Amino acid sequence: MVAAGSGSRLGAPVPKALVELGGVSLVRRSVDALVAGGVTEVAVTVPAGLEERFATEFTGVEVPVRLVAGGADRSDSVRRGLDALLAPDDAVVLVHDAARALVPPRVVAEVAEAVACLGGAVIPVLPVIDSVREVVDGGSRVVDRARLRGIQTPQGALLGQLRAAHTLVEAEGVAVTDDATVCEHAGLTVGFVNGDRRSLKITEPIDLVVAEALLNSERVL
């Protein structure tokens, strides 16, 4: 799990992963969702020097949780997290952003199952509901949103394949923003499962407000 970001856009006095949602930190909610979805081992990349502070978040978690100092960027952090796992190369591994703290366990389980059945990389996606325009020289042009999908996490692959793909990307100096792109660059196919609107990425203050509303609505139901 990637939890090493500072969260500057959220404007919080603590790292974003430690921001609380309904009295529970984002990183703890994310770990609990992964475990509920069937994950049996977790590596969490955290800001260097804050390992002890983050460790207090995982009291009572029913699977091993290893804390790893994050790297200079997301890809570096993911590589470090993968290296910390003790699972065999043919194990299914999921990379999740702690900022998507309300991911339903159903999504976690379906990504893992699809990787085990199909191989390659698997990602949860949602249809794009906003109109989208591409900026071009002299103006802009509409993009057919029916062909677009919004990408979420967790993103899954076999551990050995994902490690090799990250090593390749690092060696070639390729800039990537998610693990599906890493896998695709290494020649792996990318499959889809249905994502969920509750898996919003908490990046700005308004996202936290929306997440609180979602959480409260689930409590009522």
Buried b (16+ CB within 10 A) or exposed e, 5-27: bebeebeeeebbbbbebeeebbb
Q: What are phi and psi of 112, to 5 degrees?
A: -60, -45
Look at the domain 8-220 and name its fold: Spore Coat Polysaccharide Biosynthesis Protein SpsA; Chain A (3.90.550)
| Domains in the chain: boundaries | 8-220
Residue whose C-alpha is closest to residue 67's, from 106, 98, 92: 98
Give the number of residues written for the chain: 221
Residue whose C-alpha is closest to residue 199's, from 105, 122, 129: 105
Residue 41, SS3 per DSSP: coil
Q: What is the pLDDT along the chain (221 residues), one digit of tens a residue?
A: 888 776 677 878 888 999 999 999 999 999 999 999 999 999 999 999 999 999 999 999 999 999 999 988 889 999 999 999 999 999 999 999 999 999 999 999 999 999 999 889 999 999 999 999 999 999 999 999 999 999 999 999 999 999 999 999 999 999 898 999 999 999 999 999 999 999 999 999 999 999 999 999 876 54
